[in-house]
Structure 1
Amino acid sequence: MLSYHEPLFRPPSEAYSLILQITLGCAWNQCAFCEMYSSKQFRIRSEKEIFAEIESLATDARDIRKVFLADGNAMVLSFDKMSRLLDKLKTTFPKLNRISAYALARDIAAKTNEELKILSDKGLKLLYVGIESGDDELLQAIHKGEDFTSTSKALQKARKAEIKLSVMILNGLGGKNFSQQHALNSAQLINQIQPEYLSTLVLSFPYGEDHFKQKFKGEFIALSTIELIAEMKIFLENLELENTIFRSDHASNYLILRGNLNRNKQELLSRINDVLNDPKNAQLRPEWLRGL
Structure 2
Amino acid sequence: MIQYDEPLFRPPSEAYSFILQVTLGCAWNKCAFCEMYSSKQFRTRKEEDIFADIDSMQPYANHYRKVFLADGNAMVLSFDKLSRILDRLNEKFPRLTRVSAYALPKDIEAKTDEELQQLAAKGLKLLYVGIESGDDELLGRINKSENYESTAKALKRARAAGIKLSVMILNGLGGKNYSHQHALNSAKVVNEIQPEFLSTLVLSYPYGEEHFAKKFDGEFIPLNTVELIAEMKVFIENLELESTVFRSDHASNYLVLRGNFPRDKQEMLNRINTVLNDPANAKLREEWMRGL
TM norm structure 1 = 0.98
Shift of 1:57: 1.3
Shift of 1:63: 3.1
Match of 1:98 in 2: 98
Q: Residue 111 of structure 1: SS of its match in structure 2? A: coil
Q: Which amino acid aligns with 1:254?
A: Y
Q: Which amino acid aligns with 1:157?
A: R
1:170 aligns with 2:177: no
Shift of 1:3: 1.6
- Deviation string 1:58-104 (CA, Å, 9 cap, x unpaired) is 12323321000000000000000000000000001011000000000
Contact 2:61–2:94 (8 Å) recurs in 1: no
Shift of 1:287: 2.5
Task: Provide the C-alpha distance between the structure 1 equivalents of 2:253 and 2:18, rounded to a whole number of angstroms.
Answer: 27
Q: Residue 61 of structure 2: SS of its match in structure 1? A: coil
Shift of 1:230: 0.2
Match of 2:75 in 1: 75
- Deviation string 1:173-225 (CA, Å, 9 cap, x unpaired) is 00000000000000000000000000000000000000001111111000000
Match of 1:20 in 2: 20
Task: Provide the C-alpha distance between the structure 2 equivalents of 1:62 and 1:56, rounded to a whole number of angstroms.
Answer: 13
Task: Provide the C-alpha distance between the structure 1 equivalents of 2:74 and 2:62, rounded to a whole number of angstroms.
Answer: 23
Contact 2:190–2:239 (8 Å) recurs in 1: yes
Match of 1:35 in 2: 35
Which runs of structure 2 are paired with 1:39-188 in the superposition (5 Å)? Answer: 39-188=39-188
Percent of aligned positions that are identical: 73
Q: Residue 186 of structure 1: SS of its match in structure 2? A: helix
Q: Which amino acid aligns with 2:154?
A: A
Q: Residue 168 of structure 2: SS of its match in structure 1? A: strand
- Deviation string 1:221-260 (CA, Å, 9 cap, x unpaired) is 0000000000000000000000100000000000000000
Shift of 1:145: 1.2
Unmatched runs of 5 consecutive residues or more in structure 2: none
Task: Provide the C-alpha distance between the structure 1 equivalents of 2:11 and 2:145, rounded to a whole number of angstroms.
Answer: 22
Unmatched runs of 5 consecutive residues or more in structure 1: none
Shift of 1:2: 1.0
Deviates more, 1:52-61 or 1:268-277: 52-61
Match of 2:245 in 1: 245
State the number of aligned residues. 288
Shift of 1:286: 1.8
Task: Provide the C-alpha distance between the structure 2 equivalents of 1:72 and 1:146, rounded to a whole number of angstroms.
Answer: 15
Task: Provide the C-alpha distance between the structure 1 equivalents of 2:59 and 2:248, rounded to a whole number of angstroms.
Answer: 39
Q: Residue 165 of structure 2: SS of its match in structure 1? A: strand
Shift of 1:262: 1.3
Q: Residue 236 of structure 1: SS of its match in structure 2? A: helix
Task: Provide the C-alpha distance between the structure 2 equivalents of 1:216 and 1:10, rounded to a whole number of angstroms.
Answer: 26
Match of 1:266 in 2: 266
Contact 2:237–2:269 (8 Å) recurs in 1: yes
Task: Provide the C-alpha distance between the structure 2 equivalents of 1:8 and 1:63, rounded to a whole number of angstroms.
Answer: 21
Q: CA RMSD in A?
A: 0.8
Q: Which amino acid aligns with 1:26?
A: C
Which runs of structure 2 are paired with 1:198-209 in the superposition (5 Å)? Answer: 198-209=198-209
Q: Residue 60 of structure 1: SS of its match in structure 2? A: helix
